[in-house]
Amino acid sequence: MADIGDEAGVAVQTVYFVFSTKAKLLLEVVMSVSAGEGEPTDTAQRSWVREAESSGEPLRALALSIDGGSDIFTLMGPLIAMIQAASATDDDVAAEWDAMLRHKHDTIHRLMAAIDDGGQKRPGIDADQATDVFVALSSVEMYQMLVTRLGWTPSRFKAWTYQTVCEQLLRPEAVARLADPDVLEGIGFADELRSGD
């Protein structure tokens, strides 16, 4: 904390006043890095999340969420391993990281409830189950396995995740439209998805 204060040109007490603990400072760095340039640090306030929640089109909402959510993993890169290692030995970091993951879960649950309201989900899948499936398939652990360890491109990961989530959660008539141009407009993995058809 003292080194951070020195680098910022402020007293160490100022750093503690703003962040209170090293864990909060570390996770604030993660939030800032994961936001990318020009986006708010609160994920729920990012443009792609707001568009996904208001789109009214389940396929579009899922495409936006997977595209934007996976970009977070790309931006965070080496920080992910650092957070996981720190969580194993520091209860404060573990608690803050867990709070961030719960926040992601809550954001996804709102999206799944909206899709549920539209009647597009497969019969027998409620918003809770849909949230769990989405969170598992689009998790940092899945990203690390496929991209970091097995060498998939981030775009391939996104396209696979989108297609798999759609197949698991949505009715067949919705899945048949997963590559429609209006659904994928501005989506970073659109070319990858279309090339896999």
Per-residue pLDDT tens digits for 154-194? 999 999 999 999 999 999 999 999 999 999 999 999 999 98
Distance between CA 69 and CA 60 in Å, rounded?
14
Amino acid at 139: S
Residue 67's pLDDT is what?
A: 93
Residue 38's pLDDT is what?
A: 63
Instruction: Report which listed range, 51-60, 72-81, 129-138, is most confident.
Output: 129-138
> Domain for residue 62, yes or no?
yes
Q: pLDDT tens digit string along 8-43?
A: 777 777 766 666 777 777 677 666 666 566 654 666
| pLDDT band, very low/low/confident/very high, at 66 (cuts 50, 70, 90) | very high
> Domain for residue 111, yes or no?
yes
Residue 37's pLDDT is what?
A: 67
Distance between CA 145 and CA 125 in Å, rounded?
27
Terminal-to-terminal C-alpha distance of the chain:
51
> Domain for residue 55, yes or no?
yes
> Domain for residue 11, yes or no?
no
* Number of domains within the chain: 1
Residues 6+ apart with CB under 8 A from 39: 46, 47
Q: Where are the alpha helices (DSSP H) in the chain?
A: 2-8, 12-19, 22-35, 47-54, 58-76, 78-89, 91-117, 127-137, 140-143, 154-169, 172-175, 181-184, 190-195
> Domain for residue 136, yes or no?
yes
> Domain for residue 2, yes or no?
no
CATH number at residue 79: 1.10.357.10
Task: State which residues form the domain around 176.
Answer: 21-195
Residue 119's pLDDT is what?
A: 76
Residues 6+ apart with CB under 8 A from 44: 103, 107
pTM score: 0.80
Residue 4's pLDDT is what?
A: 67
Residue 42's pLDDT is what?
A: 65
Which 8-state DSSP code applies to residue 22?
H
> Domain for residue 16, yes or no?
no
> Domain for residue 7, yes or no?
no
Q: pLDDT tens digit string along 69-126?
A: 888 787 777 777 778 888 888 888 888 888 888 888 998 898 888 887 677 889 999 9
